[in-house]
Structure formats: C-alpha cells, structure tokens
Amino acid sequence: MGKSLEQVEFLLNPDIKYCSPIMEQVAQILEWPFSIEDYTICLESFEKFWFFVAIDKETGEPIGSVNLGFERSISGNEEEDCYCLGMYYVREDWRHTGVGSALFKKVMEIGKGSNMVLLGVLEMSQKYATKYGFNKMPKYVYILANIPIEHLVIPDPDPRYILKDFKDIELAKLLAYDASISHRNRGKFLYNFITKCKCYCKVALDPSGEIVGYCNIRVAYANFLAVSPLYADNEAIAQTLFAGVLSMIKDIKKYRFIEIHYPEFNKEAQRLCEFVGGGHTHAQPYLQCAFTKKVLPVDEAKVFGIVDGTNTFV
C-alpha cells in the first residue's frame, strides 16, 4: 500500500520530542549546520514563530517539517518586515506523496500578502520561484566553502585591531553593528543564537574602540564548525577575527571541517577561505536568497559569512 496524506498528522510548535528527530535527520543526512537547541532558540526569540512537523500516524515518527519566523526591519518601515522560511524537509521515503506541498502551503498561508524570504539550494530555486512566487532575487548567489580541518592554516591577525570576547562587549553596540549590515531587528534572536548553544565569538574594535566586525563559529550537530556570521569592514578585520576565533577552539582537530557561506562577488572572502584551507578549500555555488515581493537591503560588502541558520537570510 502506498503512502498518502491520510496517514499524516501535522503538528504546530510541538513538543521537542517531535522536533529533535527531524532536525537530527537533516543535520546528519544533509549536513545542515543545525544545533539541537535551535528549535527552542527560535521559539524564545521570534516575535512570531511557527514550526510545522508532519507525523506518520502509524509509527508516530516525524517525516517532514517547515518553519517560519517573523522578522522586523530596523528601519521601522513595515514594508521591509518579512517572514523567513526555513527547515523545509521531507524524509526521502515520504517524498512525492504531497507532504512537502502540504507543509509549504501552511506557511504560505501565514505569510500571504507579506514579503517572504528563503535561502534555497540552487537546484530548488526555480521551483520556489515558479510554484510559490519566490522570484525576487539579489544578483548573486551564496558560495558554500568547506575548509578541511587537517589542512587548516590560522592567519596572522592585524595588530591594528583589538579583539574582545562577546561577553566583554556592550550588547547594544554589537546589535547596532549587526543591524547596520543586516538591516534586521533581530537582537533577541542573535543573542540567543550565540549564547544558548556551543559557540565561539569575537568582536573586533578599531583603535578608537568602535566595533568594526564580529565573528561567531558554532558547533553543528553533525560534528563540524559553522561560521555564523563573519561580518567585517574589510579583509584585514575578517582575517583577524577568523584567526582569533579559530584560536579559541582548543579541540578543533576533533571536528570534520569548517563551513562558511559568503556572497559570490566577495573575492576577499574567497581569498580568506582559500588561505585558511591551505589551498584545499572546496567552494561551490550553493544557496539562492529569494523573496516574494521585493529584495530587502543588506550592506553586502561587509558580509564575509552569513548567519548560517534556518530563520534569517544574511
């Protein structure tokens, strides 16, 4: 007997016991850079948040998911607010049964009439555009760079810049710096994202004490390190931050690789990743950011690595 939607129950923001297995599957099979704490982080951080999980009624097992978070613009202009879609996944043995379409329909109904955004793998971007209207795209894709730990080269820091631990920085100033680049009002999410799972974070200051960049590297469930994010005013600062954060990770050799997504036009980010990988970095076009109504502004030149999560787009 074939599988059908009649065998499926859809749960909204369920108990963690239904979310953890699906997140573990995605982390292990697709190597998405999730932490098991991400579900709780999003529930606690977003003004509005929906996590739909599809359950096989017979086995009680989760077989698919999608989530949606409402994110405001720092500008206060409601037209720049958006709904961020992520964690869209259907277990392979349940694909082509209508589960994925049913999940997607649920979040599209919530965001209907508003600007929605997702980061989709390139092979899915055309489907998202034609079927669901995610057809407003910036003129670049994100490169996925995979840096093998066994070839890791930690760059020399630039002595002009001072690095501080996340806990030693005035939070409001760091969030203001983040907002100047992302244009998003995401302070609560960012704080929880950095502090509620295993992360290593440094903030760069110029000689006058002004914040000029920050880098956060988190431990992903599938035993690798994800740069989330790396924002910097220039290449020297990005290099200094990368050096500082990598030096914090004393057991770094136990991880499989370092992952970072950067805009394809950022040749400085490309150069940094190639250097840190000792010439063994593997990079490929991977993600397309896409909106339903309009592309939202970002200070793209300072993005050396995006917040590599499931509910943001930069």
Structure tokens at 112: 């209907």
Q: Model confidence at 118, in pLDDT bands (50, 70, 90)?
A: very high
Average confidence score pLDDT of the chain: 97
**Strand ranges for 157-239 from DSSP E:** 162-165, 184-185, 199-205, 211-219, 225-232
Query: How do residues 159-185 score in pLDDT, each as one tens digit?
Result: 999 999 999 999 999 999 999 999 999
Query: How do residues 68-111 score in pLDDT, each as one tens digit?
Result: 999 999 999 999 999 999 999 999 999 999 999 999 999 999 99
Contacts of 175 (CB under 8 A, 6+ apart): 187, 190, 191
Selecting from 3.40.470.10, 3.40.630.30, 2.160.10.10, 3.40.50.620, what CATH number does the domain 142-287+299-305 have? 3.40.630.30
Judging by beta carbons within 10 Å of its beta carbon (0-12, 13-18, 19+), is residue 254 exposed, middle or buried? exposed
Same CATH topology for 5-132 and 142-287+299-305: the answer is yes
The model's pTM is 0.97
pLDDT, residue 309, reads 62
pLDDT, residue 308, reads 73
pLDDT, residue 2, reads 84
Checking phi first, is residue 175 left (phi over 0); if not, alpha (psi -120 to 50) or beta?
alpha
Selecting from 3.40.50.1100, 3.40.50.410, 3.40.630.30, 3.30.230.10, what CATH number does the domain 5-132 have? 3.40.630.30
Rounded to an integer, the average pLDDT of 199-216 is 99
3-state secondary structure of 249: coil
Best CA proximity match to 67, nearest among 103, 98, 99: 103
CA distances from 187 to 176, 190, 249, 253 (A): 9, 5, 25, 32
pLDDT, residue 36, reads 85
Tokens 């930069």 sit at which residue? 314
Domain spans of the chain, in order of start: 5-132, 142-287+299-305
